[in-house]
A and B are shown apart, each in its own frame.
Chain A
Amino acid sequence: MATRAQLAHLLRRATFGPRADEVDAAERAGFDATLANLLSGPASAPMPALGADPLAALPKDADRAARQAAQQAVRQQVEDSVLWWLDRMVAAEHQFAEKLVFFWHGHWATSVEKVRSAAAMLRQQQTFRDLGAGDFGPFLKAMLRDPALIIWLDGQQNTRAAPNENLARESMELFTLGVGNYTEADVRAAARALTGWQVRRGDLTATFNPRRHDPGDKTVLGMTGAYDADGYADVLLAQPANVRFLAGRLWYRFASGAPVPADVAARIAAAGANATALAKAMFTDPAFAGTTAQLVKQPVEWAVGAMRQLGIRPAQLPAAARTQLTRGLTALGQTPFAPPSVGGWPAGAAWLSTSATEHRVALAALLAGQAARPVLDGLSAGGIDGLARLLVVDGFTDRTRAVFKDAGTDPKKLLALGLASPEYAVC
């Protein structure tokens, strides 16, 4: 029998932040049924209809004013999309599926600041939703021709006359194999295999241009053939390093920031290159239970989890609070659709800087001020133990309890301090 603490641990990791009633339900259902339920949900979501991409639809001879208006329209679409996604994260019934979409966003780490199209970013997210929970092979092949990723990593410029190695390198280092599992010669050969893919202006669709493709033989990772993008993907998928790398990345975000022990990695990787199978192996591995407090919540996880627990829907916030929310996340260093680099977001203590602490405190106060009435009433009655239950914290230290006691009985103040507390920063 799993204890309430073990179930809370699973739910803190597999969801954006569990509500107390979800832990209650898990206690009644047991660990296996809870996990099965978490892993079974689809990630499908009605994506926002943005209409035509304002920049892509611009005629070639558009004047300066029209260009600026289109850029402004794109910025608005991006803001709308960020808010839509945050709302979706809070509201999604299938929390693990939704969190996996966010995981893949951090994995393929594409930023709208270079792609400059909300539509292309949403199309990429649709691929995460359609293929991210399944076998890695079809997912990888779809991503190698994803318009946003091609723009992001200069696939546009990759031609047989002069290959551009950016996408080739990152596809091995950051997306499939990891550092140390390929050579510089492999990168150069892979770039040749990926030549020919272009994103069409106007509808931002990836198309294959045979004249720009290098059809010759390439030797990649010890295998030789006239590889194109799919052929190259098959070479990557045949590497034993691929599934080990994926297992390690999942472990890094869902289990622990400490390196995954070799025996644990081997056990998880045995599940095969399928995200749901790997996740199941990870959450049921004996080592998983020992990973409590070994992750720092990423800012989006922290804020979305808090909003789930406080009964806040981002889409229903007053306009000023919506702006404060997205600006607060940017100040914390994590804006959805805009990772800082293709390496994705940092992890662990990097989120605990003095600067981040200051911004987290401000955001905690904002969220506490927007908490649903029943949540505040419950807190007035429940006190500090009620706060621990509400925020699904296993327990507050005496240090933190002393801060709460000094702060008095105002439930909003108590809530703000609870969200800002060191105990709530980790999970």
Chain B
Amino acid sequence: MDALTRRKFLIGSGVVGGAALAAGTGAFTLAEILKTASWQDKPADARTLVLVTLYGGNDGLATVIPYADPAYHDARPELAYKPEEVPHLDDTLGLNPGMKGFAGLFKDKRLAIVRGVEYARPDHSHFRSMDIWQTGSPGSPSTTGWLGRWLDATGGDPRHAVSFEPVLPVVLAGANTAGASVPTGPRATTARPALAGFGHPAAGEPALQARAARSFADLVEVDAMINNLPAAKAKPQGTLAIQLDLVARCVEAGVATRVFSVSLGGFDLHAAEKAAQQRLLTELDTAVTGFVQRMAGTAAGRKVVVAIYSEFGRRVRANASQGTDHGTASDVFLLGAPVKGGFYGGQPSLTDLDNGDLKVGMDFRDVYATLLRDVLDTDPGKVLPGWSTHLVGPL
């Protein structure tokens, strides 16, 4: 993917406006949604997952930086950060200078860094690798996402899994249903009653046509949910902050959504990487740190777990364009009140490499299994066929 990737999808779409909220008249009120049968099974201590996808392959070695390792400085003479430039996490590792908020959360034990995560025989293609991460299926191509299968397994109301991107990410597509992708732009609700009729299924219609019809039914219901949200407190800046503000308002309003998918793009930096990546990581740091701090302020918010991943890291050695080419293992971040902070998984060696790439220390499905078990109260085997191990400690 290019330097613009998915960012542009959200550019220009403002937050849900106060006037549009006031004018909106959905078919359901929030109270009615909360009474829906499927919610009644939800345990009182149910947690919420916020999955943050970094599109483009974030350079893990410039995110969690082995500043004390001479091999790091040797491999990247122009890209490497000096030890004094990075906020230190311990005697060997530090964070990108743009991530001061994360450094503070790490000190407070609210940030877990899972190291060396990828899958066996890593694929260097953005599309294939992102597909593998989103489907949770490294062995063979799959058309369903791991959280889409979770949705299938739990009853499948689209409002259980919400994305604030116009095009639904594969991760939320199930075999029988799919999460809701909720528009973030101004709402136009005038013609809704007429359109609701398109939402009824018609006997014997083709599958994709039925899906098109169903999106009208989903639209009416999602409208109701969003229209019942309180207005934004302050105008968030940046695509990720806009998405996370909507998530925060949903959580604080007590909606039944268990999974939110948000994203930040632009990490495919083959050239002139250093400044651009630091800018992106600063945006990530500001948006996520603000979100985590806001979540700590309410009971519902203290049940939220944020997980951040990218499709792969970058090659250890820099290329001649002051960038890095597609690599393998990288870090997954877990944040939030339920998280026990610290390092998990071993730090990959910079000298014992697999054809110029970091060796994979942990299968990404161990992380997914942890999130399924400890955040979504679901047996991982139902979603990740044949997978039985998980991470011990962070949740």
Whether B212 lies near A341 (C-beta < 8 A) is no
Q: Of B13, B209, B222, B319, which contacts A422 at CB under 8 A?
A: B209
Whether A399 lies near B213 (C-beta < 8 A) is yes
With A111-B2, A333-B167, A346-B167 as contacts: A426 and B8 at CB distance below 8 Å: no
Pick the interface stretch among A13-21, A152-160, A312-320, A380-388: A152-160
B247 to chain A, nearest CB (A): 16
Q: How many residues of A contact B (CB 8 A)?
A: 67
Complex CA–CA separation, A331 to B12 (angstroms): 9
Whether A166 lies near B212 (C-beta < 8 A) is no
With A164-B319, A352-B212 as contacts: A332 and B205 at CB distance below 8 Å: no
A362 interface residue (CB < 8 Å to B): yes
Whether B202 lies near A294 (C-beta < 8 A) is no
Pick the interface stretch among B59-67, B190-198, B229-237: B190-198
Q: Of B8, B12, B124, B127, which contacts A187 at CB under 8 A?
A: B124
Whether A406 lies near B197 (C-beta < 8 A) is yes
Complex CA–CA separation, A10 to B5 (angstroms): 34
A407 interface residue (CB < 8 Å to B): yes
Complex CA–CA separation, A111 to B265 (angstroms): 15
> Using an 8 Å CB-CB cutoff, how does the interface string of B284-328 with A read, 1 for contact, 0 for none?
000000000000000000000000000000000001110101100
B266 to chain A, nearest CB (A): 11
Complex CA–CA separation, A247 to B344 (angstroms): 46
Pick the interface stretch among A27-35, A42-50, A236-244, A353-361: A353-361
B200 and chain A: residue at smallest CB distance: A399
- Chain B residues whose CB sits within 8 angstroms of the CB of A341 once the complex forms: 1-2, 5, 126-127
Whether B198 lies near A179 (C-beta < 8 A) is no
Whether A165 lies near B1 (C-beta < 8 A) is no
B279 interface residue (CB < 8 Å to A): no
> Using an 8 Å CB-CB cutoff, how does the interface string of A323-349 with B read, 1 for contact, 0 for none?
000010011110000101111001011
Whether A357 lies near B125 (C-beta < 8 A) is no
- Chain A residues whose CB sits within 8 angstroms of the CB of B4 once the complex forms: 111, 113-114
Whether B12 lies near A152 (C-beta < 8 A) is no
> Using an 8 Å CB-CB cutoff, how does the interface string of A387-427 with B read, 1 for contact, 0 for none?
00000000001111011001100000000010011110110
Complex CA–CA separation, A332 to B9 (angstroms): 9
B354 to chain A, nearest CB (A): 10
- Chain A residues whose CB sits within 8 angstroms of the CB of B208 once the complex forms: 257, 293-296, 348-349, 352, 425-426
Whether B9 lies near A333 (C-beta < 8 A) is yes
Complex CA–CA separation, A292 to B2 (angstroms): 34
Complex CA–CA separation, A129 to B166 (angstroms): 31
- Chain A residues whose CB sits within 8 angstroms of the CB of B93 once the complex forms: none
B216 and chain A: residue at smallest CB distance: A357
With A157-B319, A294-B206, A426-B206 as contacts: A343 and B166 at CB distance below 8 Å: no
Whether B188 lies near A358 (C-beta < 8 A) is yes
Scan residues 106-122 of chain A and give those whose CB is less than 8 A from a CB of chain B.
111, 113-114
Complex CA–CA separation, A413 to B245 (angstroms): 36
With A333-B167, A365-B191 as contacts: A157 and B320 at CB distance below 8 Å: yes
Complex CA–CA separation, A294 to B4 (angstroms): 31
A9 interface residue (CB < 8 Å to B): no
Prevailing SS type, chain A contact patch: helix
Complex CA–CA separation, A187 to B357 (angstroms): 15
Whether B212 lies near A355 (C-beta < 8 A) is no
A160 and chain B: residue at smallest CB distance: B320
Pick the interface stretch among B32-40, B178-186, B360-368, B372-380: B178-186
Complex CA–CA separation, A159 to B198 (angstroms): 56
B30 interface residue (CB < 8 Å to A): no
Whether A179 lies near B215 (C-beta < 8 A) is no
Whether B213 lies near A342 (C-beta < 8 A) is no
Complex CA–CA separation, A342 to B127 (angstroms): 9
Complex CA–CA separation, A293 to B363 (angstroms): 39
> Using an 8 Å CB-CB cutoff, how does the interface string of B210-253 with A read, 1 for contact, 0 for none?
11110110110010000000000000000000000000000000
Complex CA–CA separation, A327 to B11 (angstroms): 12
Whether B167 lies near A353 (C-beta < 8 A) is yes
Complex CA–CA separation, A241 to B1 (angstroms): 24
- Chain B residues whose CB sits within 8 angstroms of the CB of A162 once the complex forms: 319-321
B270 interface residue (CB < 8 Å to A): yes
Whether B178 lies near A349 (C-beta < 8 A) is yes
A161 interface residue (CB < 8 Å to B): yes
Complex CA–CA separation, A114 to B5 (angstroms): 10
Complex CA–CA separation, A356 to B6 (angstroms): 15
- Chain A residues whose CB sits within 8 angstroms of the CB of B203 once the complex forms: 397
A80 to chain B, nearest CB (A): 19
- Chain B residues whose CB sits within 8 angstroms of the CB of A330 once the complex forms: 12
With A152-B2, A355-B183 as contacts: A403 and B222 at CB distance below 8 Å: no
B391 interface residue (CB < 8 Å to A): no
A213 interface residue (CB < 8 Å to B): no
Q: In this complex, which of A346, A400, A406 has the most chain B Cβ atoms within 10 angstroms of its Cβ?
A: A400
Q: In this complex, which of B13, B158, B195, B355 has the most chain A Cβ atoms within 10 angstroms of its Cβ?
A: B195
The 4 closest A-B pairs by CB, nearest first: A162-B320, A157-B321, A397-B202, A293-B206
- 28 pairs, CB–CB < 8 Å, chain A vs chain B: A113-B8, A156-B271, A157-B270, A157-B320, A157-B321, A164-B325, A173-B127, A293-B207, A294-B208, A338-B8, A341-B2, A341-B5, A341-B126, A346-B167, A349-B168, A353-B166, A353-B215, A355-B183, A356-B181, A357-B216, A358-B188, A361-B195, A420-B198, A422-B205, A422-B212, A422-B216, A423-B209, A425-B212
Residues on B close to A: CB < 8 A?
Answer: 1-6, 8-9, 12-13, 123-128, 158, 165-168, 173, 178, 180-183, 185, 188, 191, 194-195, 197-198, 200-203, 205-213, 215-216, 218-219, 222, 270-271, 319-321, 323, 325-326, 355
Q: A113-B2, A352-B208, A403-B194 are in contact. List 11 more A-B contacts (CB 8 A).
A: A111-B2, A162-B321, A169-B125, A184-B124, A257-B208, A348-B208, A355-B182, A355-B183, A356-B215, A359-B166, A425-B209
Residues on A close to B: CB < 8 A?
Answer: 111, 113-114, 152, 154, 156-157, 159, 161-166, 169, 173-174, 179, 184, 187, 257, 292-296, 327, 330-333, 338, 340-343, 346, 348-359, 361-362, 365, 397-400, 402-403, 406-407, 417, 420-423, 425-426
